[in-house]
Structure 1
């Protein structure tokens, strides 16, 4: 004999009920089958809504009743299109009883627990009758037996306690003489010893099935639902969640208590002592493996079995110096809550005895505060304790696993993982059995917390990076294409799952929580919403994804001013934009401090040498204990390109235009040619060397003509280059006469920095620097005579994009 239970979703439509009947038909070929069914999906909630509407004199209860009636009639007609008159007649009679009950509630303006049990019992009564009669119509050997005749309870309405002595005898006696192959039982409902209708509590259909399975000592209890077992965590919030094939009774109960809705916690108890396995199966995918709950755990070596959560939690804190060393506070506190019938889901107390924290349902928080403040009124008046503190909008997340106690560092890994993603923990609870480690967090962080912990404990060490890019012009477009090209490689070889979640240009922006399709991103962006810098930040913040990285591929001051906002939200920043790092020193230090405080990486390698590892090398030297004594560098790829291509056969104006067309200069070439860009770069290197310095402290010797320096617009500037061609030819002629090359050099020495155009003699490391290449020479205590040299392409969209990409990967590898 087999016992199967089908939940509300499984019997929520005629299509699903057909699947249920097919499963029962297949099972019945191998022996007798007992099937416990819930009410049609959503009906119990509608019955309660109608009851409350009637109690509150809200005439909408009639409309709610009409919806309940229509749902059942539609199912009957779809299941029995040709032979439904007798079913409709009986169901209509039951519905008339329901309507009379609702009318009575409306008249007396009261919905007692006893009446509530009568009301909600209609759901299972209707579904079980419709299914049983439909199976008979189809020629199956099926009978409905009212569970109220079998399961006897006390009179604790809405959550009655079972009298197992009488109940077990009733079940054994009935099935000893039952001849039908399939028995349909309504779940959830029972009778008291006084003959009153009772219920076993929400989720009680599972309990009904377990009671029957235990009484008959069957080999296995099957719970059929709309998911393929108990998952490692909520699959609606974590797409990578997967079914747990084997789990222990204790683990299943822990997960069920902490929000895993697949199984009603009391279900486990009747079968636990008898070691009857529970098999969770999917009605819509009957061949899926599902989850087996038993004492035979084949996955016993895995310390963490699941991650669960409970939302809508309020944290109550009782604290005060008058509690220390005084017995009885805890007793009075819990007695008060018990008298108010308030369930406590989490308890934690500091060893100092100065405070006790309790987690309760948010709906109970006001009643709890009122009752507790009243009980401790005298102590509060005497300032021995504070009035109860209530914090709402919280959730509990829990790691569950029988074998966590045998593994060191589980809790440390849990809390450090949450901390790295700026998920603040308000309270912690862990029993000595170590089967459950619970933490109270802000409700808005639940999705991020579950994904972060699941990645840490259940995924094959693949780290998901969620990237938000603003500025998809020349460099930004190359970055997106590089990410698209390398996405598969990163996942397979570096275990980095890199997803672009947000994109923005100056006009539009788009977001996709599941990752933007990089094959069609341009089309999507063209149709995106209007872009604003604040809007991009708010969207990034609201998505609240783990390992989020904001990438700035602009030269916009307003974008740079938002870095602090991102860092405070534990969103990493990768910046191509030099403005922030070369801004006022206090702002530079603030960003560094925020990066450390909120564990949010702040990387800006491309600020100095595009794709060259200049800052990274400098940081490694400093971190290893070396000290920078001097830096000499050619740091402008654009200026190097200009002076490598400028001679007495070319015009300076034309070479600068060519550099702009090739993407070597900023959109405003004055930034490059005035030396400001190079000054910013040497400033950043000086600061990264540990020196406090601002941009105005750098000596900048200009080579531009007076007219060029004073130009108001880009067009005026280009005109000045043409007008002052003789000035630039004189500069070239001087270098040529001295057998030198013109290089724009940045220098840092003894705490001072300068930038300017230099005539570089033959034999100098800078002399043969070609194209747009950069070169940096670090003189340090360890490299006093022969400097450490970094040389290579220092400008261009592709190399700059690759430098940004490298910073993103560096975060992923951290």
Structure 2
């Protein structure tokens, strides 16, 4: 024999009810079956509201109409149609139960109060109605159905709304029931008999418990809990999209998961079944072919130490502190006895090793009642200043990692708390069960989703997540979008789930927490809202993102200053925008200090040399104890191109025109020829080498003759440019006679920096650099007289975008061999 319990979600629609009848009928064809049913979905909530309305003196006409309509809607489906004697039995049962309900509600309306016994009688009507309906449907299909009254089988004592069953009497009654003849023994869940009252409830959502009690009574081979999900998940799938169904759990693991918030199973369900080793199977009514989750005695420790992750909210943490706790026997006993008198269950306990403070968690709805009771109990201690004022934090949640193998795996707690730190979540309190089967942390309610997703990713997911928020969709930004689109499949194969979750330009922004295709970014942007980077950052900070990265592909000073706000809010920052690193020295330090404090990455490899590994190389040189002594470098791809053409005899004006036509220069070539862009790059190198410097400390030399007019618009400037052709031609020619070349470079010597033209011979590392190449020669204590040279193309949207992309991927770990497995 097996027992099957069907929840309200399995009975909420006609098609689902039909599936329930089919599953029960097919099982009953093979063996005797016990069935427990909840109320039809939504009926219990209607009954709760009916009690409140009756106390307020309101009419219940709508209630009865709604109850009849919901049950009739289930029968309107062709597969569920009743006729003849079965229909008559159902109609008589329905009318009788509704008459009883009417009498009870009339009494409540008259008294303007609802005693617990009456409340119990009213609230169990949903289960009585659903069981009568299902009995009629099964009988019509030829099954011998015994409709068992739980008041006769399950006898309870204690609180009438949260009764405790007499297990010895249940076993005795079950033996008698087992001797009866039936195909299906059908029992409504949620309620039972009581020693002092006509009816008692087993607690809200207690139909699971009813199923377990019937299986216990009948000594069933298994107890199946049929619901609307595929089984027990590694985490709540509504909060974690990548949660997976667990094929099996031990009783102990399931009990921990249920205690700390897993809603697929009522916590009290497990105890009676674990006593006799009766397996529990969680099945999906809509997908009966699915294997579901089997909960049984553990025979071996599973390979995966962690099995599930739960989140329990609507919790309050009460903290009691003071010298009156230290070394005083019986104080803890008084605390817990006080809570027990209020009939409140303690969820979690943690105590400082100094015994100076003790904290425990209770449901938020009970916290004020508990506080009042504690204040009364310890009134004298507080007056004597042996105890401080009690603290109660209602804005918390409890995150718990569960698994039989937790105590077998070294370093697991370290992984757990490292993952919390990586997701910027603070642990308010920590608790671990003595069996080491669970590890719990109390966290802020507003951080619960981010914490849940972060811990789940660490223990249950093979892919790391990156959420990109791109600001700036000019030439570099658009090239980056194309690269993101092309590379996403490859990254998924290598364990990285990269999502574009936001995009912004100077006018609009668009965000979607689930991500969207990079190729759709421009069209999405047109549908977006007015740009507000502060709002974008605040949204990212509060919305539970795991690894958010703000990518700045602008050259805007305002956006540059926003980078600090992003770091403070917990975002990584990747920037191609040099403005942030060349603002005042205090801001430069704030960026790095904040990144360290927030455990975030601040990455700007493309600030110098586009995608060349300049910044990382220089930082590693400095970190390893080496020291920069001097430097020279061609830091502008556009000017590398221009001066390379001069070597070939091309006129200066024609060289600039060609560079402008190819898009190597800014729209106004003076922005490049002024040397300010190179000065910013040189300042970054100077600062990253350990020097304190401002942009004003960089000597930017004018490359033009003193009498050349640089004013006017771009067109005027380009027309006057041939005036300097002879100046540069003569200078180039003289240098050729000495086997030298003219290069536009940044130079650092004796702690001073300058930008301008330098003359280099054939032995100089910058001599062969042209055609848009960058080259940087670092002379250090270790690299001298032969410098450390970094050389390659340092211009172009694709190259720069590639460098930005590489920085984005530095926020996660990448293993090329992974895709070969």
2:665 alignment partner in structure 1: 665
Contact 2:646 2:732 in 1 (8 A): no
Q: Does 1:603 align with 2:603?
A: yes
Q: Greater CA deviation, 10-19 or 291-300? A: 291-300
- Quote how far apart the aligned CAs of 1:623 are: 2.4
- Quote how far apart the aligned CAs of 1:65 are: 5.1
1:510 alignment partner in structure 2: 510
- Quote how far apart the aligned CAs of 1:249 are: 0.5
1:736 alignment partner in structure 2: 733
- Quote how far apart the aligned CAs of 1:103 are: 3.2
1:56-97 Cα offsets, whole Å, 9 max, x none, are: 44x386545543343223223336446346534532442243
**Relative to 1, partners in 2 of residues 1:104 and 1:718: Cα closer, same or farther, differing over 3 Å?**
farther
Contact 2:554 2:576 in 1 (8 A): yes
- Quote how far apart the aligned CAs of 1:29 are: 1.3
1:664-715 Cα offsets, whole Å, 9 max, x none, are: 334554443221111111111111111111111111112257798874xxx7
SS at match of 1:513: strand
Contact 1:582 1:684 in 2 (8 A): yes
Equivalent residue for 2:319, pick from 317, 331, 338: 317
Equivalent residue for 1:235, pick from 196, 213, 237: 237
**Relative to 1, partners in 2 of residues 1:680 and 1:194: Cα closer, same or farther, differing over 3 Å?**
same
Cα separation, 2, equivalents of 1:786 and 1:738:
24
TM-score between the two structures when normalised by the length of structure 2: 0.94
1:718-762 Cα offsets, whole Å, 9 max, x none, are: 423423531354134323332243322111223221111223344
SS at match of 2:767: coil
- Quote how far apart the aligned CAs of 1:105 are: 2.0
2:395 alignment partner in structure 1: 393
Equivalent residue for 1:91, pick from 94, 99, 104: 94
- Quote how far apart the aligned CAs of 1:304 are: 0.9
SS at match of 2:4: strand
Q: Does 1:129 align with 2:126?
A: no
Contact 1:743 1:759 in 2 (8 A): yes
SS at match of 1:402: coil
Cα separation, 1, equivalents of 2:504 and 2:319:
45
Contact 1:501 1:511 in 2 (8 A): yes
User: Where in structure 2 are the equivalents of 1:500-579 lying within 5 Å?
Assistant: 500-579=500-579
Cα separation, 1, equivalents of 2:639 and 2:323:
69
Cα separation, 2, equivalents of 1:61 and 1:623:
77
1:75 alignment partner in structure 2: 74
1:206 alignment partner in structure 2: 208
Contact 1:632 1:748 in 2 (8 A): yes
Cα separation, 1, equivalents of 2:282 and 2:201:
23
Q: Does 1:364 align with 2:366?
A: yes
Contact 2:89 2:136 in 1 (8 A): no
Contact 1:307 1:399 in 2 (8 A): yes
Q: Does 1:682 align with 2:682?
A: yes
2:273 alignment partner in structure 1: 271
**Relative to 1, partners in 2 of residues 1:717 and 1:198: Cα closer, same or farther, differing over 3 Å?**
same
Equivalent residue for 1:117, pick from 115, 120, 129: 120
Q: Does 1:31 align with 2:57?
A: no
5+ long unaligned stretches in structure 2? 815-821
SS at match of 1:786: coil
Cα separation, 1, equivalents of 2:110 and 2:666:
79
1:303 alignment partner in structure 2: 305
Cα separation, 2, equivalents of 1:587 and 1:707:
38
- Quote how far apart the aligned CAs of 1:144 are: 2.3
Contact 2:585 2:692 in 1 (8 A): yes
SS at match of 1:90: helix
Contact 2:160 2:194 in 1 (8 A): no
Q: Does 1:486 align with 2:487?
A: yes
Q: Does 1:141 align with 2:181?
A: no
Cα separation, 2, equivalents of 1:707 and 1:804:
41
**Relative to 1, partners in 2 of residues 1:683 and 1:120: Cα closer, same or farther, differing over 3 Å?**
same
TM-score between the two structures when normalised by the length of structure 1: 0.95
Q: Greater CA deviation, 481-490 or 735-744? A: 735-744
- Quote how far apart the aligned CAs of 1:199 are: 1.0
Contact 1:230 1:243 in 2 (8 A): yes
SS at match of 1:789: strand
2:174 alignment partner in structure 1: 171
Cα separation, 1, equivalents of 2:741 and 2:65:
91
1:636-657 Cα offsets, whole Å, 9 max, x none, are: 1122223334589867566545
Cα separation, 2, equivalents of 1:559 and 1:709:
33
Contact 1:49 1:61 in 2 (8 A): no
Cα separation, 2, equivalents of 1:688 and 1:100:
83
Cα separation, 2, equivalents of 1:708 and 1:153:
102
5+ long unaligned stretches in structure 1? none
Q: Greater CA deviation, 169-178 or 428-437? A: 169-178
